[in-house]
Homo-oligomer: A and B are copies of this chain.
């Protein structure tokens, strides 16, 4: 029976008025009692440790009284929290959670498994690997060859991606050193596609061996010598063991070639956490090379090519290129297919390659839109017909389909997977990479050290250690109820994309005179950004200050604490947004592009409405939060303007 997703959608969430409260309570209580009876049935001969009489003692009563009192206090405090569940929340990338995820998390938390190792999470480590397989299939990886796991969030997922990227990028150098030490002659495929002996390759070529070829070389090395010898030789030449300080010296000594430091290319819209990551990894934020944007806020492929060619001329190695699928500010989706073409061209024409990572923390789940229930890809026309809109175009589908060719992809279930914090995920196309960062804990003893047991010891391969099995169960159960195709997550996300377009169109058409709304282009997913202007605002500073005040009116920072709607705001700075922001500045007419660039710290304040609410386009009697928002924006703008005049 084919699922009617529009009907099913109403069962997926507790609902803006907690309409499904009865269902959620029933399942929560069921999960709790099921756990309770498990405890009762475990060695019933053990009798009772806490007797009924114990519950009548003063100390017991006192402790329960404190617990209840403090819990009531916490519940009262939480009333000051943010109503993410409401259609009135159009702020950050956070919304309602699926009932499946809430119940899955709670049910499993009672058992509290730790997915660091299957020994203390026999069930949920398996669920975590299943979830990684779900996500891998969705984006187009071969689950048999790829590998993935959950993380505490997108930053750790991205950290791991770059950590793995660095490991694979320097792998051929380590393998070449090890081969020389062991007197082995090994062939390797170069970026230009020819085969060479590693011993003959200069450092520059070794740093530009494609990832899969590096891993083939590494496998060949292991097969060519005894395990102990290869291990020792590899350690002798690996950055992970030697550390950067000594490694830099060694390279210069061994190859007489003090290569410039390896760089990381990122879309200019990349999340600020990339700066944290390169600092922590010891790469250094100076090595973060921002690639300019086009006017759709996507990485500009021509600019990427120019930069790659320039770096090649200076023989500066590229560790990785970070493309974004769903920028955190605009939900822009890079044309990853074009980025892949550029890497192909760089390999062919320049002999240069790099690890290609897609930061799809926000946008990754949108790939569900491109899958039929049987897993086959849907065309842009199929998606448009189902959504009843003129969106998406073929390029969008090509960008999403290209995820399957990226070397690694990060995707956060706790964003568009609609599960509670915290659940990020990292997926790698060639699962062999994980062995490059494996660390053996002392309690992983030889009898366990067989492949299947090691695979279930996630702590070996990942940055984190202890991690909640409950998060894996939450994602797993949510994927069961909302499949990763057009019927489940695809439908859910399509609703938000349609909602975002309706909001965009309504703001475009809104008659807000004397105010004027200048909008960013239609978003690639579901974040609508805009600037409100007024004839009296004749400078960048006054415009920014005014939009800040509009934001305050639309936030919990509002003096009365009761905003009609809640939005967020961001600030576009030069040089990151150079080019992309030009049409906006032109429409605003408060300063030229050059003036904006000159005032780097000032930037441009942009109001931002993330539409993760799938009910924004629900028919009546659901409230019309598009029309409601537009008229609230007028009131907020009027209030902000009178405040400007008052001060």
A59 to B43, CA, bound (A): 43
Asked, given contacts A279-B240, A280-B281, whether A152 binds B467 with beta carbons under 8 Å apart, the answer is yes
Chain B residues whose C-beta falls within 8 Å of the C-beta of A467 in the assembled complex: 152-153, 421-422
Q: Which of A66-101 contact B (CB under 8 A)?
A: 66-68, 70-71, 74-75, 77-88, 91-92, 94, 97, 99-100
Asked, given contacts A105-B109, A120-B82, A278-B243, whether A414 binds B466 with beta carbons under 8 Å apart, the answer is yes
| Residue A560 interfacial (CB < 8 Å) | no
| Residue A16 interfacial (CB < 8 Å) | yes
Question: Is the Cβ of B58 less than 8 Å from the Cβ of A84?
Answer: no
Chain B residues whose C-beta falls within 8 Å of the C-beta of A152 in the assembled complex: 152-153, 156, 422, 464, 467
A414 to B468, CA, bound (A): 10
| Residue A387 interfacial (CB < 8 Å) | no
Q: Which of A15-67 contact B (CB under 8 A)?
A: 15-21, 23-25, 27-40, 42-43, 46-51, 54-55, 57-64, 66-67
Q: A470 is contacted by which of B54, B279, B421, B621 (Cβ under 8 Å)?
A: B421
| Residue A591 interfacial (CB < 8 Å) | no
A55 to B100, CA, bound (A): 16
Chain B residues whose C-beta falls within 8 Å of the C-beta of A108 in the assembled complex: 74, 78
Chain B residues whose C-beta falls within 8 Å of the C-beta of A623 in the assembled complex: 46-47, 49
Q: A244-B244, A280-B463, A329-B442 are in contact. List 4 more A-B contacts (CB 8 A).
A: A3-B59, A30-B75, A74-B477, A92-B119
Q: Which residue of B lies closest to A243 (CB)?
A: B284
| Residue A6 interfacial (CB < 8 Å) | yes
Q: Which of A439-498 contact B (CB under 8 A)?
A: 439-443, 445-447, 459, 463-470, 473, 476-477, 480-481
Q: Which residue of B lies closest to A424 (CB)?
A: B466
Binds B, one of A175-183, A195-203, A268-276: A268-276
Instruction: State the number of copies, please.
Output: 2
A-B contacts, 11 of them at CB < 8 A, read: A7-B59, A15-B50, A17-B40, A21-B33, A78-B473, A82-B113, A105-B109, A153-B464, A155-B464, A243-B244, A422-B466
Distance (whole angstroms) from the CB of A233 to the closest CB of chain B? 14
Looking at chain A, what size class is its interface with the partner chain? Answer: 35 or more
| Residue A154 interfacial (CB < 8 Å) | yes
Question: Is the Cβ of A11 less than 8 Å from the Cβ of B573?
Answer: no
Distance (whole angstroms) from the CB of A187 to the closest CB of chain B? 29
Q: A272 is contacted by which of B48, B77, B442 (Cβ under 8 Å)?
A: B442
Question: Is the Cβ of B246 less than 8 Å from the Cβ of A276?
Answer: no
Distance (whole angstroms) from the CB of A157 to the closest CB of chain B? 10
| Residue A220 interfacial (CB < 8 Å) | no
Which among A88, A108, A441 has the greatest number of chain B C-beta atoms within 10 A? A441
Question: Is the Cβ of A17 less than 8 Å from the Cβ of B120?
Answer: no
Asked, given contacts A7-B60, A249-B258, A282-B281, whether A74 binds B122 with beta carbons under 8 Å apart, the answer is no
Q: A282 is contacted by which of B68, B243, B276, B420 (Cβ under 8 Å)?
A: B243
Binds B, one of A211-219, A340-348, A563-571: A563-571
Distance (whole angstroms) from the CB of A574 to the closest CB of chain B? 12
Question: Is the Cβ of B92 less than 8 Å from the Cβ of A102?
Answer: no
Query: Which 3 pairs, one residue from A and one from B, show the smallest C-beta to C-beta distance?
Result: A243-B284, A7-B59, A282-B282
Asked, given contacts A71-B103, A123-B78, A245-B248, whether A421 binds B468 with beta carbons under 8 Å apart, the answer is yes
| Residue A601 interfacial (CB < 8 Å) | yes
Distance (whole angstroms) from the CB of A105 to the closest CB of chain B? 7
Question: Is the Cβ of A439 less than 8 Å from the Cβ of B74?
Answer: no
A17 to B40, CA, bound (A): 5
| Residue A337 interfacial (CB < 8 Å) | no
Question: Is the Cβ of A469 less than 8 Å from the Cβ of B421?
Answer: yes
A32 to B20, CA, bound (A): 12
Question: Is the Cβ of A242 less than 8 Å from the Cβ of B27?
Answer: no
Distance (whole angstroms) from the CB of A554 to the closest CB of chain B? 12
| Residue A290 interfacial (CB < 8 Å) | no
Question: Is the Cβ of B466 less than 8 Å from the Cβ of A421?
Answer: yes
| Residue A147 interfacial (CB < 8 Å) | no
Question: Is the Cβ of B440 less than 8 Å from the Cβ of A285?
Answer: no
Question: Is the Cβ of A420 less than 8 Å from the Cβ of B112?
Answer: yes
| Residue A412 interfacial (CB < 8 Å) | yes
A169 to B246, CA, bound (A): 18
| Residue A605 interfacial (CB < 8 Å) | yes
A606 to B584, CA, bound (A): 68
Distance (whole angstroms) from the CB of A35 to the closest CB of chain B? 8
A481 to B62, CA, bound (A): 10
